[in-house]
Amino acid sequence: MEVILASSSVDGGIGCWELETGTERLRYKSCASPPHGLVCVGHRFLASSQLRDSSLSSGFLLYWSCSKPQIQVMSFPAEPIKPLAANHPGTYIAGGGLSGHIYLWEVESGRLLKKWHAHYRSVTCLVFNEDDSLLISGSEDGSVRVWNLFMIFDDLRTREANHLYEHSFSEHTMQVTDVAIGYGGCNAIIVSASEDQTCKVWSLSSGKLLRSVVFPSITDVIALDPAEQFFFAGSRDGKIFIAALNAESVSKSEYGLHILDSFSNHSKAVTSLTYAPSGNFLISGSEDGMIRVWNAKTHNIVRMFKHGKGPVNNVLVVRQQLDLSNQISLNLQTCSRKQGSLLPLPLEKYTNSTDEDPDVKTLVSLQGGISIDVSYRSADLIFNQIKELQGSSAATELEMEKLKLDYNKSMHMVNRWKKMYENLQQFCVNELLDGGKAGTADENGN
């Protein structure tokens, strides 16, 4: 079963509806998220960044269990976080700070694994690629950067490199509002939207700009067609534009080169777009407080939902089990005792925060007074095991070299003994022959 989740920039909670029937399921309480600040982590729980202070001097992150409307875990990072992104298994979560830093946490333990300075200004959007090896970020400084996580975690390469990013695209002249990446591994494309009224298409393999599409108004959100023939762009005038990705596509619309068509039913800016490929649906959210489900082919509205309070700024489509609420309710205590908590620990404020600040662990509030007994393999344990394996591998190689050397020495010795044996055998044979000849000569003389 697929559900639609929608949040607002005001404290209106998170709405949840079944995509197929339109039935409202839950309303998760107390959520005021920034754009791109709502994610589903491993289909197990929801995470949202919060910016409730008008001075933007404080912020926090919230977790909700999929079956509980109340806030379950609250964390306070070192600075306000705006965009969030979770890798597909839900083992890591990335956050973009107002300072331009990117933070990467291990979900189960809450450990801050890495923090690096990614942009000169605030990070506005984050997305993982299909195999989670790359993280793509956009910023208020107008740049789009591609981060190879293998590089980020390689301390030696990090120290030697002139920069950490794989690619840095800087052709936008104003703030980047959204980024999306397609399929295809190293041959994937990246599409970015900006307040400069353009969407740009980049090649991940070559790092070059493939196409720049100019729109009649600012586009804040984009969604790729699963076949990657075109992409949708939601604009501030309430329209959803369709732009071609194929080099062969020729636009005949009134809007300009590469723009194929547009459709609209929102009275205000389109603030979120996502694709539900199972039913070929496009879901849009708007500042008018409405969520609309469109037939992506005909552009007809299939159904509509009202968030209830304030503008919509995040929309997700999440696949859930049919009886998830009942299943979790029945097995909650058993899972808590035997397999650890259904929710992770709060996110740490600093790397190695147990040494730097013993009080950074913040609020954990599980319903029913259930104690947390988390069972997981921490990053420290994994890193130590990797080092041990690397050490074992090096030792094994040295031992193999030593054995090869000993073998060569032994073979050399064997060859020497063999040669000596052959010489001795030849000497004995010669002596016997010479002795036989001498005896025969003596007999003849007598």
Confidence category of residue 443, pLDDT binned at 50, 70, 90: low
- Residue 260, classed as helix, strand or coil, is strand
* pLDDT at residue 3, as a whole number: 92
Give the containing element (helix H, strand E) for 381.
Answer: helix 379-445
Nearest-angstrom CA–CA distance, 25 and 204: 40
Mean pLDDT of the chain: 82
Is 331's pLDDT higher than 90? no
Token pair belonging to 210: 């493939």
Mean pLDDT of 256-275: 92
The tens digit of pLDDT for each residue in 213-253 reads 999 999 999 999 999 999 999 999 999 999 999 765 555 55
* pLDDT at residue 11, as a whole number: 81
410 versus 117: the higher-pLDDT residue is: 117
Listed range (51-55, 76-80, 150-154) with the worst mean pLDDT: 51-55
CATH topology of domain 2-330: Methylamine Dehydrogenase; Chain H (2.130.10)
Token pair belonging to 4: 């639609």
Mean pLDDT of 151-177: 92
Is 129's pLDDT higher than 90? yes
pTM of the model: 0.75
Count Cβ atoms within 10 A of the Cβ of residue 106 and give its class: 0-12 exposed, 13-18 middle, 19 or more buried.
buried
Is 156's pLDDT higher than 90? no
Is 146's pLDDT higher than 60? yes
Is 393's pLDDT higher than 60? no
Is 389's pLDDT higher than 60? no
Residue partners of 211: CB distance under 8 A and separation at least 6: 200, 201, 245, 247, 258
Nearest-angstrom CA–CA distance, 225 and 245: 9
Listed range (78-92, 142-156, 223-237, 335-349) with the worst mean pLDDT: 335-349
Nearest-angstrom CA–CA distance, 160 and 374: 37
Is 365's pLDDT higher than 50? no
Nearest-angstrom CA–CA distance, 354 and 351: 8
* pLDDT at residue 352, as a whole number: 67
Looking from the CA of 232 toward its CB, the CA atoms found within 13 Å total 27
